[in-house]
Structure formats: C-alpha cells, structure tokens
Amino acid sequence: MKKLLDIAAKASDQAEVFSIRNDSSSLEMRNGKPSDMSASIQSGYALRILKDGRIGTAYTKNLLNREELVSNALDSLKGRVEAGFSFPGPSEIPESWLPDESVSCMGFHDLHSRSRAVLDYLSRKIDGQIDVNSGRGVQDMSIMNTSGLDVSRKSSFMYIFTSLLFPNTETAIRKLYQSRKAADFPVEELDALADLYASGLPEVSIPTGRMKVVFTPDTMYTILWRLSQAASGKSFYNSVSPLQNRRGEKVLSEKFTLYGDPTDPLEVDQHFFDDEGVPARKHTIFDKGVFGNLILNLDYASKLGEEPTGTGYRGGMWGGETVALAPAPSLSCSRIAPGNVSFEDMIRSIDRGVVVFGVLGAHSGNILNGDFSVGLDPGFYVENGEIKGRVRDGMVSGNVYDVLNNIESVENRLHVSYAGGMYPSILLDDVSVAAK
C-alpha cells in the first residue's frame, strides 16, 4: 500500500489507498439437510486521487501493476467530477479489538454442529419446515493517505439465521443471532420464535381500514430507508429532501430517537473510523422526534460547508464489490432508542391491528418523500390483545412522517435485524391496512 501511495502522490495533489480482505464461509440447511456451502477469501484495493479540484478513482483485486492502477485513476479525471474536500489527517482513534480466534478457526463442521443444534431443538417444538443458515467471517481493512493517515481495523463475526416456514408456502418468520465469537443460538430466542410460529398457523381474513400496526425489527428498514434518504447530505445538496430547512424542528413523535453508534461495545461490527478514515462516534439524526443532524461523507460535508460526521461508507443496500463503490453518506450501526413496553404488553394493548414480521415491496412508493406500500410477508392479525392468526393477503401503506407522529409505544429492548441495525418493535396507531 505504501508503495502505491508513493506512486500516486507523485502524480496528484493528494491520494488515498483503501484495502480490504474478507475471509468467510457459510452453510445453508434447508428442511434439515445441507443445501449449499461456500468459502471465499476476497481482497481488493481502491485508489482515490485529488488533482486540480477533481477526483479520480480506480480499483483492483491485487497490486501486480501499481503504475497501471494510478494511470486508470488519472484517466478517470477526464470525467471532471469536482471534489472540494481534502483527505483527513491522523487523529486519535482507539485501537480496534482483534478477531476472536474461536471464529477464525471455525470450519464447516462447527457451522454444521451449531445449525444442527438449532434444528434439533426447534423440531421438538414445531411440526414444519425449518431452514438454518450459518456462517463466519474475518475482515481486515486499512486506509492510508498522503495527509499522514494510516489506520486499520480487524473484526470477526459469526451468525446463525433460522426460518420457520408456514405450511405449503415460502412465507416464514425468522430470527438472526450473531456474535463476535463462536456461540450457540440462545434457547430463549428460539422458544419465542416457536411460540410466534404457532400463533401464526391459522390463516385469517381481515377487514380493510385504519388500525394499529406493529413494525417489528426485521421490517424497520422500510421506515429507516426513507428517513436516511431524507437526512442524507446528497438529498440536502440537491435540495430534494422533505426535511430541508427543518433542522431543530420536531417532525416526529417524541417517542422516536434514531442514531448510529459504531463505537458501541455491544456492536458486533464495532469500529472507530469510517471508510474515509474520519473518526466515528455516536451520531443522532432524530432526538425525541427533533431532526438534528445530516448523514455526511467528506464530499457532501464539503459541498454543504459542514464538518464530516464519520458516516462515509463503501457499500449499499444492494451489495456489490466494496472497493468498487465510492464512500457515500450512510448511517452505520443504526439504532432506534428502546421504550418502556414489553412486546407481550404491546400485543395485549391492541384492540384491532396487525403485526408486520416481513414485507414485500419495500422499494415501492416515493422513498424520498416517505411514502410506503408494502405487502405482509407475513403479518399477524391481533384482536382484543390476542393474535388470531396469519393474514391471508394484506398490505399496509402510509407516509413515515405521518405514522411516526402516531407512535403508541416502543418496545423496551433492541433486537438484531437481518437487514442491519438493532431496533425495538414500534406500535403505530391509525395506519391504513388493506385486505383482499
């Protein structure tokens, strides 16, 4: 990396080298039998250069030809993409924890053993198809630039993801468990999942109308996708955000607080700098309903005349090669602050409503404006505080700025979402529910 940086420095005003290496393996078991397994080691290098107020980029899977990589970055300057920012210099960044050896050493036998334990436990509780995916990964990431920054972080994780499929469908309720070190799926979480599955076995028809709706952690991305787009520096720079000119204003219920905190010791992916080397910290977007901060990377912070917020990350909702993606405004390790009501009490408080455990069509509607219209996959119908069964066909729709001003209660604990982040369930009132 240092040699590449030296070559790039001679041809530009500033340069940055980003490298990443992922070592991962996974095992899929469908209906009790292994259906797929994979193992991979992937690495790559991304180069960004600044010259005459413009930015050039290039990436490669190896460093066999550093001069060609620099040449490609110089060629990309012809795109005349303006860059008013500078790469950050060194700062006091805490040492990241080292990968746990118990994860680094996990093989397919270990993954199979933990998956089989989940299958055996759940098969004694339910009579239905059980799918279990498990995996482990170790990541090593480094950033160097000509401003003197030289940082790196290493991490490890393992996960077990189980799905309980309802009869003759691909609809399921699911639960993710993840850890920094090798561990087994907590049985209390499996017990709760099995109980919910039993509650959803009967199929029921529901009336169309406005009623209470619970968004569970795994469906929270439907709401947060819209809020994060509106709070993005890109949307503000392009003057298309519905939150434009509303900073410091209460726009949501006081029961709603949204933040990201990569430094949280409980975070599996705990880290102390973003993918541009800017120090990461707790970053609150909505504080008790008040809109406070934007999500910024170096580029949009410069364009808006603000300080970067340590929220510039390579990646995206649709995946892709990390080194091929430019750092963009993104809230990492997102959280919704918990409330003071248990999930069980939340259900008991519902006179008539649905609980959303999965959605279809989260991409539909005007995302930036906050509109959503999603199918229930699955949704459970609740009447007089009791789950009556699984909704046969249903849909919920609305606007996040409307529904998040009608929050009845927020669950008192956080759950890991398989869509990323940790969230409580949220009970909303007066939401449009449609049924066939």
Residue 140's φ and ψ, nearest 5 degrees, are -130, 120
| Concatenated DSSP letters of 307-327 | ---S-EES--TT---GGGSPP
Count each helix (H run) and each strand (E run) in the chain, helices first: 10, 24
Helix axes 66-76, 2-10, angle to 10 degrees: 40
Give the largest CA-CA distance in the chain.
Answer: 72
**How many C-beta atoms surround the C-beta of residue 249 within 10 A?**
11
How confident is the prediction along the chain (436 residues), in pLDDT tens digits per residue?
A: 899 999 999 999 999 999 999 999 999 999 989 999 999 999 999 999 999 999 999 999 999 999 999 999 999 999 999 999 999 999 888 876 677 889 988 999 999 999 999 999 999 999 999 999 999 999 999 999 999 999 999 999 999 999 999 999 999 999 999 999 999 999 999 999 999 999 999 999 998 999 999 999 999 999 999 999 999 999 999 999 999 999 999 999 999 999 999 999 888 888 999 999 999 999 999 999 999 999 999 999 999 999 999 999 998 655 668 889 999 999 999 999 999 999 999 999 999 999 999 999 888 888 999 999 999 999 999 999 999 999 988 999 999 999 999 999 999 999 999 888 999 999 999 999 998 7
The CA-atom distances, in angstroms, between 365 and each of 331, 369, 397 are 22, 9, 9
- How are beta strands 407-410 and 426-435 bridged, if at all? antiparallel
What local confidence, expressed as pLDDT, does residue 266 receive?
A: 85
Output the pLDDT for position 197. Answer: 97
Tell me what pLDDT residue 419 has: 84
For 36-66, b where at least 16 C-beta lie within 10 A, e where not — what string?
A: eeeeeeeebbbbbbbbeebbbbbbbeeeeeb
Query: What domains, with CATH codes, occur in the chain?
Result: 2-197 (3.30.2290.10), 203-436 (no CATH)
In this prediction, residue 318 carries a pLDDT of 59
At 420, the amino acid letter reads G
The structure tokens listed for 203 are 């199929």
CA distance 254 to 244: 20
Tell me, yes or no, if the pTM score tops 0.75.
yes
Residue 79: which residues within 8 A CB-CB, separation 6 or more? Answer: 56
